[in-house]
């Protein structure tokens, strides 16, 4: 009835342990490169972003988006306007982007009411 982990965040998949430090093993990693996986997400804070402020709405389906890291991960359109923030569960992508990965996506669905929402499918571009 106990934990076999090291008590460090390195026990969780996607974390980066200190070199040579305790818990510097596989940390529960599955061996799969999360950076190279396509994913879908629903953007957050859409109504507080540039696109919504400028247009009063959300981008239509099939709008091309990329991801930028500006203190937080944001989906941006071709003109550089933020459309929405990525969920914090995808924060590991910041490390992937630092390694040279880029992500391109398309709006899958969007709605302005009752609450603005944008669903996006992203695919990686390897370095």
pLDDT tens-digit readout, 34-93: 999 999 999 999 999 999 999 999 999 999 999 999 999 999 999 999 999 999 999 999
**Rounded distance between C-alpha atoms, residue 19 and residue 4, angstroms:** 20
Express each pLDDT in 50-61 by its tens digit. Answer: 999 999 999 999
Question: Using omega within 30 degrees of 0 as the cis cutoff, is the peptide bond preceding 121 cis?
Answer: no
For 22-41, give the DSSP string.
TT-S-TT--S--GGG--EEE
> Was domain 33-125 assigned CATH 3.30.70?
yes
Each domain of the chain, given as residue ranges in start order, spans 1-30, 33-125
pTM check: above 0.95: no
């Amino acid at each position: 009835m106990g934990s076999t982990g090291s008590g460090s965040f390195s026990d969780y998949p996607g974390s980066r342990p200190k070199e040579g430090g305790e818990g510097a093993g596989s940390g529960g990693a599955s061996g799969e490169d999360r950076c190279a996986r396509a994913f879908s997400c629903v953007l957050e804070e859409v109504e507080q972003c540039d696109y919504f402020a400028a247009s009063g709405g959300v981008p239509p389906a099939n709008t091309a988006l990329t991801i930028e890291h500006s203190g937080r991960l944001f989906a941006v359109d071709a003109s550089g306007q933020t459309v929405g923030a990525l969920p914090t569960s995808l924060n590991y992508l910041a490390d992937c982007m630092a390694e040279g990965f880029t992500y391109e996506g398309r709006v899958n669905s969007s709605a302005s009411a009752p609450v603005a929402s944008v669903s996006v499918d992203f695919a990686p571009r390897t370095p």
